[in-house]
Structures are given as structure tokens and as C-alpha cells.
Amino acid sequence: MAKILILTTGGTIASVQSPDGLIPSMTSEELMSFMPAVCGDIDLDILPLFHIDSTDMQPEHWMKILRAVRDNYEKYDGFVICHGTDTMAYTAAVLSYLIRDPDKPIVLTGAQKPIGFEITDAKSNLSDSILYAADPMSRGVQIVFAGKVIAGTRARKVRSMSYAAFASINLPEIAQINSGHIIRYLTDSAFCGKRGAAGGKDPARFCETLDPKVFLMKLTPGQMPELIPEIFRLYDAVLIESFGAGGIPDSLQKTLFAEMKKYRPEEKVIAVATQVTYEGSRLETYEVGRRIADSFQILEAKDMTLEAAMAKLMWILGEKGRSWEEIREMFYTPVARDILTGEQD
């Protein structure tokens, strides 16, 4: 019999209607009372962690989820985390770095409609997640939503109201779940394999340090450069969400470059990504991107999602005192298929 621990954190799936809109106030017991019978021999336990709208998710909440998984890791065959959809991709990415080489599944799921509504996606998402977590071939951090199984490092919310809320970015879906059947597409050892030693690697390792001082700087036409010095003062890393393949406008480069010259690369880590959803960045394509790459020691997110790039920087910088060489090596070392193109590609 598979033993699954369900961790509840609030979100739409556990919300009730109020005069001011949906509020995530349903208890774990109330949530599970709406749950249809799950096929198979599965033993379920529930552990409530907190009741928040996922918009309010903070690093301290990530740590509470992490510790709940860590403290119960040996007692259960898998974990299902009920989570709001708005920041689920960030949580999935963070857990992918904080829990290394898990040989058990850590599944995040939620809903676009509360489980208490007559018409809802919550019941199917929750039952699919339990089914997937109970399967002995499942492992790693994933999102299960609308019948899709998506790597925790590759998920993004792409629809605000439709049931198919999440997409897998720059990587195929790991599996689909249809009428109680799991159809696997990727059998990478990070996502699939018998429980026990994690693919011949060491058992799961849990990291409890994060540096939340990572700023996502989205570029827009006409953006004023005056805030750049303040961003550098307050944050340890800046992830620049550039145009296209990696373009940074001339109107910002003078101030940006002046700030970058004040610090060693390990003091203020600069990473460049693209605000385009698919296919990633390639700084050398245009002169407006090549200029920063040729002038400074920076990181390039390449085909990583913004959520994964931010989470990875927080994880890497969580341990103070790393050299630039260590930071660069960790950033370009693939974790759970978060990056497919190497540093020299």
C-alpha cells in the first residue's frame, strides 16, 4: 500500500466564496471531504501547513514546505502539495533545487476553481496527483495539472482562468494522465525510476538556505535608468529580463555598466534572460546583447524559465562566500533538466 502525505497551503483549491471574493479558508478536512475515491491501494494522510493566497507566498513559506517534506520523507512514498496557481511555478522551481536527487515524487497541484464548486477542476487535479504520487515509478518535483505532468523547473502559468493553466517551457511534458492511466514521455532518472537509491546517487539531500535578494528587472521601451543604482544597492543578484534573444537598450547600458564596474562579479551577480516565453536567449546574436557579454562576467539563462533562473540564483547564493567560478559552474550545471544548452553552446 502506497502512503501519500498531502500538504495543504491554501490557494484557490481550498477557497470559499466571500463578499470580497475567494478566500483560502477551507480546512484540510473540509478539502478532503470533497475528494472522490481514488483508485488503487493508497493510504492518505493530511498535514495542514498554512492557509494563504499563493500571491502571498514568501521564502519562509517555501522553507516550511521543505521542512515538512524533509521531516516526513522516510515515512511516506510520495507527497502532494495543494498550492495556489499564481506562484506554483516558483515554488516548484525552488523545491527542485532545495530537494536534490529525490527518489520519491513531490507533486504540486491546485485548481482554477475551488473544490467546493459544482463545476471545478480541483477534484480531477487532486486525484491525478495522488495517483501519480502513488505510482512506484514517479520521482522528483513536478506539477500535475489538467492531466499534464510538468517538471518543476519547466512549469509556467500561461492562462489565468482556463483549466489548462500550465505549460512546460522548452521541455516536453514528463507524462499525461488520462482516465487513471499514466502515459510517460520522459524517463529521465530525475523524473522516473524505482524507489530506493536515487538512480545510484546519494539519497535525497535537503538544503535550507536561500538568498531572497534576487531582483527580476523587466525591460520596457522608455524605461528610466535612475532606479538601477538602488537595485544594485539592495540586491545580491539581478536577473535582467531582456528583449528578444538578449537585447539591452543603449538608454540603460551606460548606467547599468557603471554599476557593474563597481563590484566583483561574485558580489553582484548579473544574469540575462529573455522575456520571450519559448526558445530561450542567445546573447551573441545581436550587438545589443553581445556588448554586455563581451564586457563583463555575467550569466545567461539560455533556455531556462525565469522562475527556474530566479530560484537557482537564490539557491546558489544561499551559501555565502562562493567564488565567481563556483557560482558560474553551479548555474550552468543542469538540475532536473532546468537547462539544456551548456555554457559553451
Q: Are strands 175-178 and 214-218 parallel, antiparallel or unpaired?
A: unpaired
Beta strands per DSSP E along 113-213: 140-145, 148-151, 155-157, 166-168, 175-178, 181-184, 205-206
Dihedrals phi, psi of 127, to nearest 5 degrees: -65, -40
DSSP 8-state class, residue 266: T
Of 8, 9, 12, 85, catalytic:
12
d(CA 97, CA 95): 5
d(CA 139, CA 336): 11
In the residue annotation, 8 being an active-site residue is answered as no
Beta strands per DSSP E along 154-262: 155-157, 166-168, 175-178, 181-184, 205-206, 214-218, 237-242
C-alpha cell at position 145: 495539472
Task: Count CB atoms within 10 A of the CB of residue 118.
Answer: 5
- The CA distances from residue 6 to 13, 190, 201, 205, 332, in Å, are 13, 22, 26, 21, 33
Nearest to 10 by CA among 43, 51, 71: 51
Residues with a known catalytic role: 12
